[in-house]
Amino acid sequence: MSTYKNFTVETDADGIALVTWDMPDKSMNVFTVDVMDELEAILSQTVADAAVKGVVFTSGKSSFSGGADLTMIRGMFTMLADERAKDPAAAAQKLFDVAGRMTWLFRKIETNGKPWVSAINGTCMGGAFELSLACHGRVAANSKSVKLALPEVKVGIFPGAGGTQRVSRLANAQDALQMMTTGQNLTAQRAKAMGLVHQVVEPGELVNAAKQMIKDGLKPVAPWDEKGFKVPGGGVWTPAAAQLFPAAPAILRRETAGNYPGALAILKCVYEGLQLPFDTALKVEQRYFTQVLQTTEAFSMIRSLFISMQELGKGARRPAGVEKTQIKKVGVVGAGFMGASIAYVTAAAGIPVVLIDRDQDAADKGKAVSEKLVGESVAKGRLTKEEGETLLSLVTATPDYSTLSDADLVIEAVFEDRAVKKAVIEQVEAVISPTAIFASNTSTLPISGLAENSKRPEQFIGVHFFSPVEKMMLTEVIMGEQTGDRALAMALDFVGKIKKTPIVVNDTRGFFVNRCVFRYINEAYDMLIEGVPPAMIENAAKMAGMPVGPLSLNDEVAVDLSQKIMKASIADLGEASVKPEHMKLIDKLVNELDRRGRKNGKGFYDYPAKPAKKSLWPGLKELYPQRPASEIDVAVVKQRFLVTIALEAARTVEEGIVTDPREADVGSILGFGFAPYTGGTLSYIDGMGVKTFVALCETLAATYGEHFKPTPLLIDMAAKGDTFYERFDPYGKVLEAA
């Protein structure tokens, strides 16, 4: 047996070398420079050894591999910045060479002369799936833990290690494009149906089945390297392709508004590559991959959605020196939909949870939410019946506060009313242990004010979930003025345990996410009042990269909630805190027309009974005189939405609410879907340059109002040529933008 740092190689009596990938000190295998060096050495070793008849490649971990390591990706951008500083002309060639390392290593495996079989036992993503596709055989375990995907488009790039060429030569072009332009996960069965996997076997038979493929005479030649190979569906010059390829760019533009260079590059790679010999096609892919890597979108998305998200998820903001908490029991007070959902995700993480409400009936209704979610998961095969029963056994519904006596963490999720929350805080603190942490799930009320009702404000913190809790990846952790490190550490430990991404923000009305969201919605109010057609408002927002229009979003969060928030702002901050025209609009919708949003079937949209789809309420056009669409610049409408949100994010930094630019970027994308191709609110500003952004703000302020005026911080940064990631560097060492 040969042992490497990251692999073991063991050859059996049949001459089959089992290569097991098992990186020390890593929970998941990832590609690093060391891994590629070792893989190349293993390839040379097995080729040179006459006793080796073939190779089975598998993982020693519960998953196969998550793809590239974030440090390798970061190093690629750092290298590009360094090379550009020395010799801009040579920088692109150096990047081209580095980007091609994995491509040509996999091609060497494919053409080495001995059969390789990939035995896929779990999650197999990105470069790991591209390696598997370069093997001559692929066997996947029949397990729900097996997910196969080329998700690179979700972080701004595309499968650039042969993925676009191999998938489009194994599956029909339409399925290949759909898979790669969306980054969708495939089950083992779906991958087999598409032609990407040869066999699906029971987990215990995985390696044996892979070895059997070699014993049965698996050819060490890829289909496209054989004479007479034909692409599934006939390739580019067929009647079917004549329908697909002209329509594909239009469909992609409809879905992405042309905001994602990586997605468009996939179409180009497939269309051009299928007309070329395979090695030439790989070079075409390598060329486009190099181009996309140099875009602002790729840099910003990789930094936020790959690097920063992983860093925050692994506790980048966790205070040093505080021992990790083993959370053995959680209490949730308030069994409404939000509290019930928090209880569900807690139990799904294997933590016993007590769900409390005013009486047993109300508490049981809360547990019924978990029962419904479990039932849906069992029906879809995501959970077995036994797993579902185990999850539900961890949820105890009761009105008895004394059951919280041994809870490590208690989360209140009651009605957004200070008096109600005060009563809950007092009841909970009367029974919990001296070491327990209390967290409020308030979405608008400042944590420091609520902590005034606590006898131990240093153990009081905000943990703000987003609805639906089981789907939304973000959680805001809010520090009150007196919140201590231990409370922060436990909150972050809990959020990590339930597999959410946390951002830590200091206390303010609306915290970070809601402050930005209501800027988005308020800009739509301004546009309505100006006479911008409602359909243009919604469509321009989506063209700018937002997942839903602001009017649709307002319906989802409830129009009457907007009214309550405005009234609370006026009560606390004075009349000037809300535009009178906004108050008048919302009062009319709620008080006169009873249009409260999706919850009562009518808001900015009408919500007919299914299967009919929602549509904009025709009466919106009657509220204000409509301007002709031809007089309105859609590009400016798009700018207004992105700029007003980004400005609000900059204000939170200036006020010390957000202290780490990673959190503003990740929080804005995960919290409300801020145009992901920008990399988030602060990356949007950095990406165009602060000086350019300030000039844009001043132009918009001159026409559309003072709320577009750049802040003193932005003006100072523009004058000094700063970026947010330089001035508020979260690494201690600046990661220069490419």
- Three-class SS state of 185: coil
Half-sphere exposure of 538 (CA within 13 A, CB side): 15
**Can you read off the two tokens belonging to residue 639?**
């700018």
Residue carrying the six token digits 């139990």: 347
**Bridge partner residues of 7 (DSSP):** 21
Please answer whether residues 92 and 84 qualify as being in contact, where contact means their C-beta atoms are separated by less than 8 angstroms.
Answer: no
The rounded Cα 502 to chain-centroid distance in angstroms is 12
**One-letter-per-residue 3-state SS of 469-490:** CCCCCEEEEEECCCCCHHHHHH
CA 500 to chain centroid = 10
DSSP E strands in 34-187: the ranges are: 54-59, 116-120, 124-125, 137-141, 148-149
Helices 88-99 & 278-293, crossing angle to 10 degrees? 130
Residues 575-581: contacts with CB under 8 Å, at least 24 apart: 579/522, 579/525, 579/526, 581/525, 581/529
Helix (H) or strand (E) segment spanning residue 501: strand 501-506
Q: Please give the structure tokens belonging to residue 210.
A: 């892979």
Q: What is the largest CA-CA distance in the chain?
A: 85
Residue 624 to residues 143, 360, 619: CA-CA distances in angstroms?
57, 49, 10
Task: Tell me how far CA of residue 468 lies from CA of 1, 232, 340, 465, 474, in angstroms.
Answer: 50, 41, 11, 9, 11
Among 468, 495, 464, smallest CA distance to 370 is for 468
- Considering 198, 464, 582, 707, which one is annotated as catalytic? 464
CA 303 centroid distance within chain: 12
Closest to 102 in 3D by CA, of 9, 154, 32: 32
User: CB within 8 A of 659, min separation 6: which ones?
Assistant: 504, 506, 653, 728
State the Cα–Cα distance between residues 306 and 303, nearest whole angstrom. 6
> Are 529 and 580 contacting, i.e. CB atoms less than 8 angstroms apart?
no
Rounded to the nearest 5 degrees, what angle is found at the Cα of 100, between the Cα atoms of 96 and 104?
Answer: 150
Report which residue type is found at 404. L
Whether residue 136 lies in the annotated active site: no
In degrees rounded to 5, what are phi and psi of residue 408? Answer: -80, -30
Give the Cα separation of 310 and 680 in Å (integer): 15
Q: What is the dihedral of CA 345, 350, 352, 358, to 10 degrees?
A: 10
Residue 690 · residue 712 · CB < 8 Å: no
Residues labelled as active-site residues: 464
